[in-house]
Structure 1
Amino acid sequence: MFPFEICGIEVQHGDIVEDNTKYIEHFQKMGKNVEHFFRDIFGRNKRYRIDLKKESSLTLAIAAAKKVLKKTGTSAKDLDMIIFSSYLPEYVAPPSSVLLHYALGGKEECICYDINVDCTGMSTALGITAKYLSASESTNKILIVGCDIINMAADPNSEYSYGIYGDAACAMIIQKTKSDCGLVDSKFWVNSEEHADIVFPGCGFSKLFQVKDPSKLRLRWKPTATVNIQDAAEKILALLKRNNLTVKDIKMFCCSQSVYKFLQKIRTLLSIDKKQSLYVGGEYGYTGTTSPFIVLWKSLQEGLVQKGDYVVIWTFGSGRTNIILLLKY
């Protein structure tokens, strides 16, 4: 085990609430009936949005970070590392983690870096950071923040992306501990032959200032039917087995909230129920990198996860990156 303690986790979502009506009417004008698709396949009922004239992924991230600092009674001066996960950050230079550091008033001796592994970014950050925390004598407390504002880049002609997303940041503080909790095990894998299925910007950065048609910048998305849920379920079971655990030992499966049908299939394959695998995508929309962590936050809010409980995080991202984390809370 790589020991660490989750001191706190908080969520900040946009203030604008949208149901499916806007998107159903939008696609009806194209001759597409997406009501069943949105409700029963993707599992969307509503989603939170930010006002892009006033807010960004950075402002949401700062708000979530301030929330968790206040809730845990932590000073920004106590943070030895700040990590920001996003594949659509407000800025790529300077890193958003540096802007977070400035907004929070962090100390000078603080490692700041951004991570982009698309929807698996925050999970990957936690998996890597847990190991770094064990190896570093000088690092004690780390802030991990994630936020993706994806709908603004979605292709309005594609029902696979436009209207699917919601805007929400998640911030988590972890610290060293001698207690029996932390990262028990992890599994990373990638199916890179699917690298062209989801692409942003659609034209590539080298052509960013050459394109005359703004639609060429949009998120290019092919249907996600190739996601191998059977394979993910088998890998989850194998990970549990090598740690002498069974599905019944896991208090919560914090799974990707991208497609409700995928979660239903995972539930069937693992023989788990709704209380063991919360679905929040119907309320929040799909929030990308923060997706499974909003499930964890919700589980803690509702008292479904307690100290000493085992938690599994499973999610996937474009280029078909995949990650499973086995945690002891």
Structure 2
Amino acid sequence: MFPLEHIAIRQAAYYHPEKVVHNDYYLDHFKSRGKDIARFLQVMGREQRYIAAEGENALTMGYQAARKVLSDAGLASEDLDMIVFSSQTPEYTYPTNALLLHHRLRGKSRTITLDSNANCAGMVAAVEQASRYMQSNPHVRYALVVGSDLSSVNCNPEDEITLPNFGDAAAAVILERRAERPGFIDSLYYTDSDDCENIMFPACGLSNIYNPEMTPEQIRISWKPFDGTCVVEPAAADIEEVMRRNGLTLDDIAAFCLSQFSLKNIELICEKLGADMDKFIYVGDEFGYTGTSSPFIALQRGIEQGSIKRGDYIFFWSVGAGWQLPTVLFQY
């Protein structure tokens, strides 16, 4: 039906709540508990973050990002053949958030809807998997991929790692089947499950959330301290491998849109590659860490600032708890 061959990013957009919380709030919060987190915030690269208001959640934020990306792309919801909703904090487990989003957007009946969860790596994985699926299904011309996490309400107020680190936001991209490049080129996954229980939510397990003996802290995110730089070496190695097998060098790459979890990790990956730090887009100082959406908020910010242009080669990379590291190469 559609003799088109390449899967391109037609449009990207993001949504963030209005409320801004600066570092001072968290510095004072933990100082009152005898903890100095100033160095931690510096290493993570935080200055402020957007925090959802009452009534906002992953679904409502995702809906706002979806509306914006459709409007900017000049498309209607009836044009969508596929909707994928990526979240590690879904508002509902059933029906799917993608189905609820389809309803809010008034999508057509011939729309594939599904939820995806690869934790913080989720939207990178969802875009990669949607692109692969579109390559094999000629009846999908437009796919909407939304990534949205509401993390702030799930953080333990006594945990200095999660509470000051996370922000709330959503991103959306529209993938389009086209006859010509640019588009999706290649991907690679690295999985190491040896430390799969370092980060868990809900901490007590879903089967125990109604146990009256469980405290809120036992339900919220459990985050055991670990050395997050363990992802640097495989990240750099996978980026190099994808470049090698596609005949590219660092000079060919215009931008890196990586997980915004840690500014230090981005700097170390840049150093490991021997790349120019100017190519690494960082928005974690403004948004905080938004989880699944963070690489695609970086993408849209790069487009807005003019550092990403049509035809540019872009790497997306992120890390999901446990660990799963997807590396994806696009020509924008």
Which residue number corresponds to residue 192 of structure 1?
Answer: 193
Counterpart of 1:196 in structure 2: which amino acid?
A: E
CA contact (8 A) 1:313 1:326 kept: yes
Q: Deviations over 1:127-153 (max 9, x none)?
A: 111111111121111000010011211
**Superposition pairs of residues 62-101 of structure 1, within 5 angstroms:** 62-101=63-102
Which of 199, 221, 231 lines up with 2:234 in the alignment? 231
Kept in 2, the 8 Å contact 1:130–1:182? The answer is no
Q: Please say if residues 317 and 326 of structure 2, whose CA atoms lie closer than 8 Å, have aligned partners that are also in contact.
A: yes
Which aligned pairs between 1:231-250 and structure 2 lie closer than 5 A?
A: 231-250=234-253
1:204 aligns to what? Answer: 205
Contact 1:82–1:142 under 8 Å retained in 2: yes
8 Å Cα contact 2:121/2:326 also seen in 1: yes
- The equivalent position to 2:9 in structure 1, one of 6, 29, 34, is 6
Determine the C-alpha separation between the residues in 2 that align with 1:305 and 1:215.
42
User: What amino acid does structure 1 have at the position aligned with 2:35?
Assistant: K
* Aligned partner of residue 298 in structure 2, secondary structure: helix
The alignment-based identity, stated in percent, is 36
Matched, 1:327 2:302: no
- Normalised by the length of structure 1, the TM-score is 0.97
Do 2:8 and 2:181's aligned partners in 1 also have CA atoms closer than 8 Å? no
For residue 279 of structure 1, what is the aligned residue in structure 2? 282
How far off its partner does 1:238 sit?
1.7
**Pick aligned residue for 1:49 from 51, 55, 66:** 51
Q: How many residues are paired up?
A: 326
User: 1:50 corresponds to which letter in structure 2?
Assistant: A
Query: Do residues 265 (structure 1) and 271 (structure 2) align?
Result: no
Note the residue ranges of structure 2 that are not aligned, 5 or more in a row.
Answer: none
Give the CA deviation at 1:228.
2.8
Matching residue's letter, 1:124: A
CA distance in 2, matches of 1:234, 1:89: 32
Partner of 1:120: 121
- RMSD of aligned C-alpha atoms? 1.1
| Distance 1:4-1:222 versus aligned 2 partners, 3 A rule | same
Report SS of the residue matched to 2:12: strand
Task: State the match for 1:145 in structure 2.
Answer: 146
TM-score by length of 2: 0.96
Give the aligned partner of residue 295 of structure 2: 292
Distance in 2 between residues matched to 1:8 and 1:228, nearest whole Å: 29
Q: Which residue of 2 is the match for residue 106 of structure 1?
A: 107
Structure 2 counterpart of 1:222, from 224, 228, 243:
224
Matched residue, 1:156: 157
Q: Which runs of 4+ in 1 moved over 6 A?
A: none
